[in-house]
Amino acid sequence: MSRLGVAILGSTGSIGTQTLDVISRLPDRFRVVALAARHNRELLTAQVAAFAPDLIVASDTEPIDGHRVLPTPQGLIDAVTHPDVDIVVAATSGHDAIRATWAAIEAGKTIAMANKETIVCAGDLIIPLAAEHGVDLRPVDSEHSAIWQSLMTGPRRDLARIILTASGGPFLDKTRKELAAVTVADALAHPNWSMGSKITVDSASMMNKGLEIIEAHHLFGVPYAQIDVVIHREQIIHSIVEWDDRSAIAQLSFPDMRLPIQYALTWPDRPLSPGTPLDFTRIPTMSFQQPDEDQFPLLRLARQAGIEGGTAPTVLSAADEVAVMAFLEGRIGFVDIPAIVQGTLDAHENGPVLDLEIVFAADHWARAHAASVIGTR
């Protein structure tokens, strides 16, 4: 078996580092062709030394150990279209990730999708483009990976619904008054997963689950009415597919992002994983409950934005990113995040997504509006 070439966009982030861990355990199957990162120069240098990529991309273009470093954003395009790349792991964020994913699809590369913006904001364009070029979009999120795997158990015509599971984050049992007093440290204390700061805050507010609803709609072509969310604190069941015969098929494992990353790389094969084997004797109970959308209004706002479609999901995502950054910097409180997102959506004039420039314009407007709202608080 010849080794598959991999380009990793966002190699120094949580998904990127875990992808490299997976690849290091499967040296006969994969080789790293390209690494792209932004600011973590020290870690990127260590990754270059360990994996010897053909191409390096970073914001700082000073050579790394004598190796040329290409600048963003053009370097990302060069990385994903490199002739030796077979799979692109899209794990970075921002407009550059959307453009790079677009270029990778046009070049016929398989995409291991870990970038939410690309699907949430540009799903109306990216999904048809992938279909046109016969490109696989393999989800890396644990929930979407679970749905992807479970959907293989029946014909799509018999699908009743998909059920996204959510941990509920660290604030599930807090009142709104208690939520008003939470700190940044409180929000970053996720009960099950180790993730970047932005996605951890989004998990605490349940915005992350709202974005996953929009992603699931695009990735699997499922109407919003057939997408539900349930709180599952133990995070052993990563999501569920229910069929018309009322059979429910789920994917289970202990929380470990390396499992869905590896499956996105090795599909349809299932080689030995570095994860812990699932021992049911260590799981005394598995609990479930409905999410409270009054307590976590971003879940409701995200579903509404997805149903409205057009540029609304882009505005939702961009406003949330600005608000979360303001919270992490101590400029607003945790409960201010949904208010800022709501206000930005209310001020937005929705329109269809006809090309990427419309997505980027909506993103720019939403960021500027959200920032101005924060500035007046």
Whichever domain contains 87, its CATH number is 3.40.50.720
Please state, in angstroms and rounded to a whole number, the distance separating the CA atoms of residues 22 and 29. Answer: 11
Whether 19 and 61 share a structural domain: yes
What pLDDT, on a 0 to 100 scale, did the predictor assign at position 169? 85
pLDDT at site 42: 96
Q: Do 212 and 164 meet the contact criterion of CB atoms below 8 Å apart? A: yes
Measure CA 238 to chain center. 14
User: How far, in Å, CA of 340 to CA of 317, rounded?
Assistant: 12
Q: At what angle do helices 356-375 and 116-133 cross, to 10 degrees?
A: 180
Give the Cα separation of 128 and 130 in Å (integer). 5
Instruction: Provide the sign of the torsion angle of the four alpha carbons 364, 366, 372, 375, taken in this order.
Output: negative
Measured over the CA atoms of residue 298, residue 300, residue 303 and residue 305, the dihedral's sign is negative
90 SS3 class: strand
Q: What is the mean pLDDT of the chain?
A: 94
The pTM of the full predicted model, rounded to 2 decimals, is 0.94
Same domain, 161 and 68: no
Same-domain status, 301 and 185: yes
Cβ proximity of 334 and 327 under 8 Å: yes
Q: Are residues 86 and 158 in the same domain?
A: no
pLDDT at 275: 87
Phi first, then psi: what are they for 314, rounded to 5°?
-65, -45
Distance (Å, whole) CA 198 – CA 94: 13
- Residue 1: the pLDDT is 65
Where residue 174 sits, what CATH number does that domain have? Answer: 1.10.1740.10
CA 95/CA 206 separation, integer angstroms: 23
Q: Domain check: are 83 and 184 in the same one?
A: no
Same domain, 213 and 336: yes
Question: Hey, what amino acid is at 108?
Answer: G
| Residues 52 and 174 both lie in one domain | no
Asked if residue 129 belongs to a domain, the reply is: no
DSSP letters spanning 134-176: T--EEE-SHHHHHHHHHGGGS-GGGEEEEEEEE--GGGTT--H
Strand 248-252 and strand 237-243: the pairing is: antiparallel
Instruction: State whether 257 and 177 are in the same domain.
Output: yes
**233-262 confidence digits (pLDDT tens):** 999 999 999 999 999 999 999 999 999 999
Cα gap 200→232, rounded to integer Å? 17
Same domain, residue pair 109 and 150: no
Same domain membership, residue 148 and residue 106: no
What domain range is 82 assigned to? Answer: 4-114
Please indicate, yes or no, if residue 325 is contained in any of the structural domains.
yes
Sites in the chain below the pLDDT cut of 70: 1, 190-196
* Token digits of residue 106: 């046009």
Domains contained in the chain, number = 2
